[in-house]
């Protein structure tokens, strides 16, 4: 059921790869809620994914952009404002990548050039996106910028590798840039700390299936799905959360505040 929460709002959605991705489900729901938006992803990711299908279903245009490239981002922002007919009301940053994870490098034996690449894609790109939006005055007042993160930024999950460091940096950027975006433009910036979710990116983490099951048993409400996350994101893009900013919002069925569950005690 749609509520027209985003009627008349304009935005950019980064990172829709396929039907399993949170960005994909967010785009579908934003469309249902009345929004218009531009879809974007890195050219290499677009070749792997099915973004053209999503664009057709939502009546959206696609602008390829490497989120680590200021030149690409400036082109993306200026063209999006032109295509959509005005400043933006929302932006979703749903980007994450670790070459060390992808290539099986242990956290204690990193290839640092790979580390820097993952850090740039997963975290610094969020700063670059917001800096570009800020400099071009591309956001409407009371707009909303959201990035997706994970609780490994606060607690150790051994196989999450250097992505944990990337997420910690991402969350810090949200707080720091959120202050300036709030003061200067009345734009809010938040991160959603989502349950482990079987997306293309999440499933690349070693031992993911076992951890997914563990998190399900630990969370009083069970794991939040990609669809659940899309629905939560709608509330943050809407006008009902105008004074929520610089927050890391746990969306994980209660996992983050559970010490141990009865199911886990019985299992062990």
Please state the rounded mean pLDDT for residues 238-243: 98
**How many structural domains does the chain have?**
1
Q: Is residue 4 part of a domain?
A: no
Is residue 76 assigned to a domain?
A: yes
Domain-located, residue 5: no
Q: Is 169 marked active-site?
A: no
Q: Examine residue 188 and state whether it is found in any structural domain, yes or no.
A: yes
C-alpha triplet 111, 94, 218: angle, nearest 5°: 85
Question: Is residue 185, in this structure, part of any structural domain at all?
Answer: yes
pLDDT tens digits, one per residue of 167-222: 999 999 999 999 999 999 999 999 999 999 987 666 666 677 888 999 999 999 99
Domain with 172 in it: what CATH number?
A: 3.40.50.720
pLDDT average, residue stretch 9-21:
96
The pTM score is: 0.96
Residue 117 inside a domain? The answer is yes
Its domain, for residue 100, covers 10-266
Look up 150 and say whether it is catalytic. Answer: yes
Please name which of 113, 205, 107 lies closest in space to residue 165, comparing C-alpha atoms.
Answer: 107
For residue 140, the model assigns a pLDDT of 98
List C-alpha distances in Å: 143 to 92, 130, 138, 189, 199. Answer: 11, 12, 10, 9, 27
Rounded distance between C-alpha atoms, residue 71 and residue 99, angstroms:
23
Task: Please identify which of the residues 3, 107, 150, 214 carries the catalytic annotation.
Answer: 150
Q: Spell out the alpha helix ranges (H) of the chain.
A: 22-32, 43-48, 51-58, 70-84, 99-102, 112-119, 125-135, 163-185, 208-218, 226-237, 262-267
- Would you list the DSSP string of 208-251? HHHHHHHHHHH-TT-PPPHHHHHHHHHHHHSGGGTT--S-EEEE
State the virtual CA torsion across 165, 257, 189, 6 in degrees, nearest 10.
130
Q: Which of 3, 112, 160, 232 is catalytic?
A: 160
Rounded to whole angstroms, the Cα distance separating 259 from 252 reads 14
| Band of residue 251 on the pLDDT scale cut at 50, 70, 90 | very high
**Residue at 100 is within a domain:** yes
Judge contact between 244 and 190, C-beta under 8 A.
yes
pLDDT digits (tens, 9 = 90+) for 47-102: 777 999 999 999 999 999 999 999 999 999 999 999 999 999 999 999 999 999 99
Q: Is residue 3 part of a domain?
A: no
Binding residues for NAD(+): 15, 21-22, 95, 167
Q: Which residues are annotated as a binding site?
A: 15, 21-22, 95, 167
- How far apart CA 246 and CA 188 sit, in angstroms, is 7
């Amino acid at each position: 059921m749609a509520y027209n929460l985003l009627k008349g709002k304009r935005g950019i959605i980064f990172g829709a790869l396929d039907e399993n991705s949170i960005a994909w489900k967010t785009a579908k729901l934003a469309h249902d809620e009345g929004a218009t938006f531009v879809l974007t992803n890195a050219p290499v990711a677009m070749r792997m994914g099915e973004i053209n299908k999503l664009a057709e279903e939502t009546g959206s245009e696609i602008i390829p952009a490497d989120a680590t490239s200021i030149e690409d981002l400036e082109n993306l922002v200026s063209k999006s404002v032109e295509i959509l007919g005005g400043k933006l009301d929302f932006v979703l940053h749903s980007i994450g990548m670790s070459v060390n994870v992808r290539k099986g490098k242990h956290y204690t034996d990193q290839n640092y050039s790979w580390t820097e690449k993952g850090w740039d894609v997963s975290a610094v790109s969020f700063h670059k996106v917001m800096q570009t939006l800020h400099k071009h005055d591309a956001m409407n007042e009371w707009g909303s910028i959201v990035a997706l993160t994970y609780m490994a930024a606060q607690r150790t999950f051994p196989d999450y590798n250097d992505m944990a460091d990337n997420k910690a940096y991402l969350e810090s950027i949200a707080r720091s840039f959120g202050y300036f975006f709030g003061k200067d433009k009345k734009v809010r910036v938040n991160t959603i700390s989502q349950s482990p979710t079987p997306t293309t990116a999440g499933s690349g983490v070693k031992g993911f299936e076992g951890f997914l099951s563990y998190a399900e048993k630990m969370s009083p409400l069970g794991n939040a799905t990609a669809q659940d996350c899309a629905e939560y994101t709608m509330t943050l893009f809407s006008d009902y959360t105008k004074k929520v900013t610089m927050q890391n919002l746990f969306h994980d069925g209660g996992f983050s505040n559970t010490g141990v569950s009865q199911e886990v005690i019985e299992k062990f």
